[in-house]
Amino acid sequence: MEHFECENVPIGRTTVYRQLNKLTESGKVRKYTIDGIPGACFEYVDNAENCPTHIHLKCEGCGELIHLQCDMLHEIQHHMDDRYAFQINTTKTVFYGKCAHCH
């Protein structure tokens, strides 16, 4: 991804979102939305094939979004599938709580 430095150059919000949508369509960016909450989070994906499955942790204090990559996630996914025949969509899974700083 190219990086350009521009100072004092106004860029319209529509232009930014148009580019984010193009990057999402091309697979270079992942878009995360949460039901009932306006807005979205975007994540740059350097290599989608090497991006491990992860769940998000959202701090209710400061709003930080943490990508949780943990071996236990696979066990939880297998448990949910085996026990309830339910497959978790990790791209939309968010646990809410407090980060270490806000706790």
> Domain residue spans in the chain?
1-45, 52-103
Q: Which residues 6+ apart lie within 8 Å of 61 measured at CB?
A: 98, 99, 101, 102, 103
Model pTM greater than 0.85?
A: no
Ramachandran region, residue 43 (left: φ > 0; alpha: ψ -120 to 50; beta: rest) = beta
Across all residues in the chain, what is the average pLDDT?
81
Residue 1 has pLDDT above 60, yes or no: no
Q: 17 pLDDT band (50/70/90 cuts)?
A: confident
Q: 27 pLDDT band (50/70/90 cuts)?
A: confident
**41-94 confidence digits (pLDDT tens):** 777 776 655 555 678 888 999 988 888 877 788 888 899 999 999 998 877 788
Q: What is the DSSP string of the chain?
A: ------SS----HHHHHHHHHHHHHHTSEEEE--TT--S-EEEE-S-GGG----EEEEETTT--EEEE--THHHHHHHHHHHHH-----GGG-EEEE--TTT-
Q: So what's the pLDDT on residue 33?
A: 73
Class of domain 52-103: alpha beta
Residue 22 has pLDDT above 90, yes or no: yes
